[in-house]
Amino acid sequence: MDNNIPQGRTRKIVVTGALGAISCLLGLTHWGFIPWFGGVSLTIMHVPVIIGAVLEGPIVGATIGLIFGIFSMVQAAIAPSGPADVWFTNPLLSILPRLFIGPLAWLAWIALQRWQPAGLVIAGIVGSLTNTILVLGMIGLLNLLPWVAIGPIVIVNGLPEAIVSAVLTLAVVAAYKQIEYGRKRGADL
């Protein structure tokens, strides 16, 4: 390792690369989509962004969000899986909203890190709802769907995604940081 590069920066680069790759893997394999009723899927592709932000800060979170957004745009262009995927070839829809997931999840974590399990749950919810609200808001602003259709999507998809994100963020970060949760500690989760 180059002695001129601080160890913390190397760690941030490694975490960014690893979690960015996990986000892409979730999309390529479709493991990032949990089947939901009505043929709709809940996505967890934003969870690595949230975890990266909580572990390493807002810049790492925004960078992983950028990776997630670029991957989403490229995949929509070369391997669309549904008619709405063409919308995600627009970087205002695929990239811009994803840049905010990490920084806002990090702010929630920083505000509540004194109560670590609750802070992780809220960071997961905030990051997930940031993705949902900004993506759907952009869909509304671009007149791709009528605004009256967006509210129900937030409720039917956004809220369950937020719950799944909260659980995954708590489980992964608590295990990694050895945070006590109830009678369990870290890897005992």
pTM of the model: 0.90
pLDDT single digits (tens) 103-154: 999 999 999 999 999 999 999 999 999 999 999 999 999 999 999 999 999 9
| Cβ atoms of 119 and 63 closer than 8 Å | no
Give the span between the Cα atoms of 45 and 35, in whole angstroms.
14
Backbone angle region of 186, left / alpha / beta, with phi > 0 → left and psi within -120 to 50 → alpha: left
Model confidence band, residue 38 (pLDDT cutoffs 50, 70, 90): low
Question: What's the confidence (pLDDT) of residue 1?
Answer: 45
Question: What's the confidence (pLDDT) of residue 8?
Answer: 86
Residue whose token pair is 């892409």: 24
Lowest-pLDDT range of 8-12, 29-33, 117-121, 165-169: 29-33
* C-alpha separations of 101 from 69, 121, 185 in Å: 11, 14, 27
Map out the domains of the chain as residue ranges.
7-188
Give the span between the Cα atoms of 149 and 90, in whole angstroms.
20
| Residue 157: DSSP 8-state | I
> Domain 7-188's class?
mainly alpha
Which tokens sit at 4? 């001129």
Give the span between the Cα atoms of 158 and 95, in whole angstroms.
18
Alpha helices in the chain (DSSP H): 7-29, 47-56, 58-78, 91-94, 101-112, 116-141, 147-153, 159-177
pLDDT single digits (tens) 163-183: 999 999 999 999 999 887 766
Question: What's the confidence (pLDDT) of residue 172?
Answer: 96
